[in-house]
Chains A and B, each alone.
Chain A
Amino acid sequence: GAVVSQHPSWVICKSGTSVKIECRSLDFQATTMFWYRQFPKQSLMLMATSNEGSKATYEQGVEKDKFLINHASLTLSTLTVTSAHPEDSSFYICSAKDRKAYEQYFGPGTRLTVT
């Protein structure tokens, strides 16, 4: 079946630094990838929709200059948290939509802790 991977699975960084999270579709091409944020015991909040070769579409309230998204190929999207602060600590989950189907597959998530 379709697999989506994320790297790293967890990361700890110091306040003020930037962190890059990768999302890859391993055995299918994804024209669209999505980035979600999940706080403890809460639901997934959509942050942005990433389309290959074009600018990401951010949800209301999400700072595009803080959460930089790049979707350079049909199998890779990256989320960079710039100048991270402790309040950015969260679980970040990506999902990828198979270009040949309507199915959306989820990655395992990346836990970011900002100290």
Chain B
Amino acid sequence: AQRVTQPEKLLSVFKGAPVELKCNYSYSGSPELFWYVQYSRQRLQLLLRHISRESIKGFTADLNKGETSFHLKKPFAQEEDSAMYYCALRKDSSASKIIFGSGTRLSIRP
């Protein structure tokens, strides 16, 4: 069965510092990986997906199949980045259900 692991429950960094939220997955096939973000009092929304290979709000994430990781990175954190971040996996593009990691709360200190 597929599984997503986010080892950090809370990550606190200063504004302007680099950010890396870790995500590891277990699945024998070639899954789709996502990062979702939930700002305070807002609904869950897609931040980025690995197949898009794009940078959203300065965040990037590279799928490393060898290490089965999909870490989220941003070179310079901003206060508005404070939120809950969830790494998620879908078995493939034709599959339906998305499985979420336990989430990491990112707190940016001024």
The SS class assigned to the A binding surface is strand
Residue from A42, A102, A103 having most chain B Cβ neighbours under 10 A: A102
Give chain A residues whose Cβ lies under 8 Å from the Cβ of B98. 34, 46, 95, 104
Q: Which residues, 38 to 53 on B, are CB-close (under 8 Å) to A?
A: 42-46
**By the criterion CB–CB under 8 Å, are A42 and B43 in contact?**
no
| CB of A43 within 8 Å of the partner chain | yes
**By the criterion CB–CB under 8 Å, are A44 and B97 in contact?**
no
A44 partner, pick from B45, B96, B100, beta carbons under 8 A: B100
Minimum distance in angstroms from B39 CB to a CB of chain A: 12
**Bound Cα distance from A32 to B95, whole angstroms:** 11
- Residue of A at shortest CB range from B88? A44
**Bound Cα distance from A104 to B103, whole angstroms:** 18
- Residue of A at shortest CB range from B43? A108
**Bound Cα distance from A95 to B90, whole angstroms:** 14
**By the criterion CB–CB under 8 Å, are B44 and A93 in contact?**
yes
| Interface range, A side | 10 to 19
Give chain B residues whose Cβ lies under 8 Å from the Cβ of A104. 46, 98
**Bound Cα distance from A104 to B100, whole angstroms:** 13
**By the criterion CB–CB under 8 Å, are A106 and B96 in contact?**
no
- Residue of A at shortest CB range from B34? A104
Contacts A/B (CB < 8 Å), 24 sampled? A34-B97, A34-B98, A42-B103, A43-B86, A43-B102, A43-B103, A44-B44, A44-B86, A44-B100, A45-B100, A46-B97, A46-B98, A46-B99, A49-B96, A49-B97, A93-B44, A95-B98, A102-B93, A104-B46, A104-B98, A106-B43, A106-B44, A108-B42, A108-B43
